[in-house]
Amino acid sequence: MNKADLIEKIAKDVRISKTTAGKTLDSLVDGVTKSLKKGERVALVGFGTFSVSKRKARVGRNPQTGETIQIKARRVARFRPGKELAASIK
């Protein structure tokens, strides 16, 4: 399922226009993104939790040349599924 499919499903399920469903989905994604940028957690009960974690700097290897490269430390988004989501896909 891609974004357009999800918008279509939301519009159909809630009986709203695709434009409104698209704006709603964009608002959700924007809200989650802004919270993660601030370092906050976003918990959607039953679905899962979005959080930010830090990756340490490390040494990597270029697979084409075998050359050793330095990979900088950075913050990454994480998602941990909730119990209901995890149980529903077993």
Element (H, E) at 77: strand 74-81
Please give the chain's pLDDT, 90 residues, in tens: 999 999 999 999 999 999 999 999 999 999 999 999 999 999 999 999 999 999 999 999 999 999 999 999 999 999 999 999 999 998
Query: The tokens 């340490």 sit on which residue?
Result: 56
Rounded-to-integer distance, Cα 57 and Cα 64, Å: 21
| Residues 41-90, CATH architecture | Irregular (4.10)
pLDDT of residue 50: 98
Rounded-to-integer distance, Cα 55 and Cα 26, Å: 28
